[in-house]
Amino acid sequence: MIDRVSSQQQAFTAMEFLRKKQDSECTIAGLYDLSETIGKGHFAVVKLAKHVFTGEKVAVKVIDKTKLDPISRDHLFQEVRCMKLVQHPHIVRLYEVIDTQTKLYLILELGDGDMYDYIMNNHDRGLDIETARMYFTQILEAISYCHDLHVVHRDLKPENVIFFEKLGIVKLTDFGFSNRFEPDTKLDTSCGSLAYSAPEILLGDSYDAPAVGEYEDFPHL
């Protein structure tokens, strides 16, 4: 009897160990090995990771679900829905979503650094006007595409523009404050980064969702 109880306890301990390991900060569902942190947010961190079988490097946004209030949980669901919807050459791809008891993992395309770091590290040199025009056009193409799908990003800033050096392009990322909108319907959620917010958001007013085709003249910039 004692031996049976002991065996059951050992089996339970082993299962608990495997469950905790699966939901640990070292590996995700046996598929991705996590390494250093490359970004941080309010309820999430972004880590560098590598696929166990293919060796492909990815970025993994790790969201701690235990720290989410109802509003933050709604934002999270909106982020996943919007990122699954948008598929564009200048928007960072969401490869897959892995959900565990306490964490949600967003497996994302890995870039080479964001525009904020580039500006801070190269402020003395800057960019030539043609390269800057090209990057700016790519960002607007991504925004226009989102608006065509009635998706508004609501957190546009240099930190959310990622460089892909081998491709010679930039991509928009972090749809944490994104939402779907109906044409001619105002939004009233105050969100985004304070330093980049529009005056009407800072004042707490309702604001117009972007009109479809708003940026149709941007190639002439």
The residues carrying an active-site annotation are 155
Beta strands in 41-146 (DSSP E): 44-51, 57-64, 94-99, 103-108
Read off the tokens for 141: 């193409």
**Across the strands, what pairs with 26?**
none
**143, 215 contact by CB (below 8 A):** yes
Amino acid at the residue 201: I
- DSSP characters over 34-46: EEEEEEE-SSEEE
Q: Exposed, middle or buried by CB within 10 Å (0-12, 13-18, 19+), for 38?
A: middle
